[in-house]
């Protein structure tokens, strides 16, 4: 029975979008809101609770139909500290932030109107609001626009630290950390390169760039241990100025901890140019 949330205007009853329902069974007060789409429902629930210092996540959903006709018809939202720890590890016991928070919302799809109704079943939390949201992985997730920005800057060979600083500068409210940027970059690499290894990617780039290159493979492990490559323009420059060559190697700062060798030449006008590069074991 609807007993609140109404007002009378010029003799006409106008029902507010928010209704307070009183059940005869337990007299609990449930707050209901109506949304046009599921995305609007989840966005409102998340922003409302995040402003209070709580993070809301999806507990479970119910879908109907199969393949392309499948659609969500019911959703349960809860606090990210809801539920209980389910780990059965005995050797390494890790902690958990789940403390059984009772907060719960339920969203249902109205098949006739196509609208979504959201009912707050339990509005109270059993813990204090978070002061810093960096410890909540769901709150740190990047928006689609931010992920596109990360992809664009990654293609421009920008370092992860600089990408992170750019994201935080454009969106001061973002609570993402450097690890989140690195995780997005890993997804971008998988999308760009598929299941190819870095050595396969390097060899393709050398082939497409018309480099002169040579690789040495360990006959026992069939692993590439050394890569030497020269660009054709650098080769022509070396043929013209072969008198001075400077060879230097960096420390093992790459992923495979292989020394990186650089060979540099000098022109007659005392300008340096790169002759060749190599990864050696």
245 vs 266: CA distance, rounded Å: 7
Whether the Cβ atoms of residue 261 and residue 247 lie closer than 8 Å to each other:
yes
168 has a pLDDT exceeding 50: yes
6 has a pLDDT exceeding 70: no
180 vs 134: CA distance, rounded Å: 11
Q: In Å, how far are 23, 30, 220 from 26, measured between CA atoms? A: 6, 11, 74
Which structure tokens are listed for 199?
């050595």
Give me Rg for the CA atoms of the chain. 30
Separation of CA 275 from chain center: 40
Output the average pLDDT for the chain.
83
What value does the mean pLDDT take over residues 75-81? 92
4 has a pLDDT exceeding 70: no
Q: What is the pLDDT of residues 111-158, one digit of tens each?
A: 888 899 999 988 899 999 988 888 888 888 898 899 999 999 999 989
Task: Note the pLDDT of residue 159.
Answer: 92
Task: Note the pLDDT of residue 19.
Answer: 43
Q: What is the pLDDT of residues 17-46, one digit of tens each?
A: 444 444 444 444 456 889 999 999 999 999
Task: Note the pLDDT of residue 30.
Answer: 58
104 has a pLDDT exceeding 90: yes
Closest CA to 49 of 118, 147, 146: 118
Q: In Å, how far are 17, 204, 226, 228 from 199, measured between CA atoms? A: 59, 9, 10, 12
pTM over 0.75: no
Task: Note the pLDDT of residue 92.
Answer: 66
8 has a pLDDT exceeding 60: no
User: What is the DSSP track for 44-58?
Assistant: HHHHHHHTTT--EEE
Task: Note the pLDDT of residue 118.
Answer: 92
Q: State the pairing for strand pair 29-35/224-230.
A: unpaired
Task: Note the pLDDT of residue 149.
Answer: 93
Task: Note the pLDDT of residue 165.
Answer: 94
What value does the mean pLDDT take over residues 189-217? 87
């Amino acid at each position: 029975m609807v007993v609140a949330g109404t007002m009378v205007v010029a003799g006409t009853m106008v029902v507010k979008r928010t209704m307070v329902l009183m059940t005869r069974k337990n007299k609990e007060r449930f707050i209901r809101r109506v949304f046009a789409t599921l995305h609007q429902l989840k966005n409102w629930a998340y922003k409302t609770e995040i402003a209070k210092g709580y993070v809301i996540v999806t507990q479970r959903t119910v879908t109907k139909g199969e393949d392309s006709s499948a659609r969500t018809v019911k959703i349960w939202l809860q606090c990210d500290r809801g539920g209980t720890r389910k780990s059965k590890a005995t050797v390494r016991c890790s902690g958990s932030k789940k403390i059984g928070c009772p907060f719960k919302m339920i969203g249902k799809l109205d098949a006739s109107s196509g609208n979504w109704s959201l009912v707050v079943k339990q509005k109270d939390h059993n813990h204090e609001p978070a002061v810093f949201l960096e410890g909540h992985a769901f709150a740190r997730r990047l928006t689609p626009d931010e992920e596109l920005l990360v992809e664009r800057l990654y293609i421009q060979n920008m370092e992860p630290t600089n990408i992170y600083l750019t994201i935080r500068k454009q969106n001061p409210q973002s609570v993402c950390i450097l690890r989140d940027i690195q995780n997005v970059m890993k997804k971008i690499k998988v999308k760009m390169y598929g299941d190819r290894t870095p050595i396969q990617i390097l060899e393709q780039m050398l082939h497409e760039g018309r480099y002169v290159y040579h690789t040495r493979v360990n006959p026992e492990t069939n692993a590439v241990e050394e890569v030497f490559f020269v660009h054709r323009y650098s080769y022509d420059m070396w043929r013209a100025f072969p008198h001075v060559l400077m060879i230097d190697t960096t420390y093992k700062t790459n992923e495979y901890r292989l020394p990186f060798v650089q060979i540099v030449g000098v022109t007659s006008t005392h300008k340096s140019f790169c002759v060749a590069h190599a990864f050696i074991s």
